[in-house]
Structure formats: structure tokens, C-alpha cells
A and B are shown apart, each in its own frame.
Chain A
Amino acid sequence: MSAQALSDALWALLAACSVAAIAISHLTSAHLERISALVRRVEANRAAYVCIILSWMWVGWHFFAR
């Protein structure tokens, strides 16, 4: 297997795991916390909230402007 195929497979696997985790977390019987609830808990700490907002800003600037 080439390095490129391996890298593509790993990224695809992580993407699939992310989608599966999001779907599982929305099942009523799931024992996996939803991202929205996790973010709300983290945001209760103002410093963590600022870090999350700054991270969001950096992602946008990095991908769309620079």
C-alpha cells in the first residue's frame, strides 16, 4: 500500500469515526456526551470559552483568508 493510499485511508477512517460518534451521541440511550453539551460545559469556564472563540476565529482566518 502506498503512503498516499494509507494517509487517505486514515483520514477517511477518522472522518467516519467522527460522523459515527456524532450520530451515536444523539441516540437517547447513548452514553456518549453530545458535542453541544460538551462545549457548554467547557464554556462555563470563561478562559476556556475565550480559547474556543479564538480557535474558531483562527480556523476561519487560516482557511479562508490566509
Chain B
Amino acid sequence: MTDRARHRATAVVGLGAAIGLSAWAAATDPFTSGADAVSAIGIGLVAIEVAVRWRRPALVTGTDQDRASRARWWPWLALAAALLALELVSFYSGPRVDHPTISSLYDSATRWRAVKAAFFLGWLCLGAALVRS
């Protein structure tokens, strides 16, 4: 088996496992042992990957460096600051129905199990992207 084929097989198995974990997570409710277990598995998998890759230097490609030299990053900081400000204002205001936080918006959206599964899968994919970047 070539490296490329092995890499592709690993990606397919990883995606299948992530979808399975997402389906499991969608069937759980917060503050239960099942929710603790499925979240801990996701966190544990990423923690293991971080430990394995720890000694490898970060990969910054030439294209990234070329773009970074001319690209602006401050709009992201402004956007993050605006999100944080609205979250804090909402958190310290009441009632929650008039001033929803990100958590309460998430709770409303995840009344549907499929939405919760999609959020969990997105969280896992983000974790995988962070350790592989």
C-alpha cells in the first residue's frame, strides 16, 4: 500500500469514526455520563494526536508566507472583539430570552438531534484541523 493510499484509508476511517461519535453525541443529554464519555473521547483523541506531533515543527508554506506578508489580520481581531462584547453584554443582561448568549442559542438549535450531531462533527473536524495544521 502506498503512502497516499494509506493516508486516504486513514482519513476515511477517521471520518467514519467521527460520524459515529457524532451520532452517539446527538443521542446524549448534557450532565449525563454518556455525554461526558463521548466528549472525553473526542478530547482524548486530539490530546493523543497533539502529543504524537509535539516535536514536529510547524509547517508554514511559501504561499502562506507570501499571503501573510500582504494580508490583513486585524478584521478578524475586530470580529472576535465584537463577538466577545455581545456575548458579555448578553451574559450580564437579562432575561435570557431577550438577551441570548451563544450557549442559549446553541441550546435552542440543538433541540434537533441532527443539528447537535452536525455541531459535534464540526467540533471534531476543527480539532483535527488544529492538530494537522
Contact = CB atoms under 8 A, between A and B. Distances in A.
Contacts of B5: none
Given A33-B71, A34-B67, A39 B133 contact: yes
Contacts of A2: 98
B122 to A, nearest CB: 11
Contact of B71 (A7, A17, A31, A62): A31
Interface in B32-67: 35-36, 38-40, 42-43, 46-47, 50, 58-60, 64, 67
Given A31-B71, A53-B50, A60 B39 contact: yes
B82 interface: yes
Interface of B: 25, 28, 30-31, 35-36, 38-40, 42-43, 46-47, 50, 58-60, 64, 67-68, 70-73, 75-76, 79, 82-83, 86, 90, 93, 97-100, 103, 105-106, 119-120, 123, 126-127, 129-131, 133
12 contacts: A11-B100, A17-B79, A41-B60, A52-B130, A53-B46, A56-B127, A59-B123, A63-B119, A63-B123, A64-B28, A64-B120, A65-B35
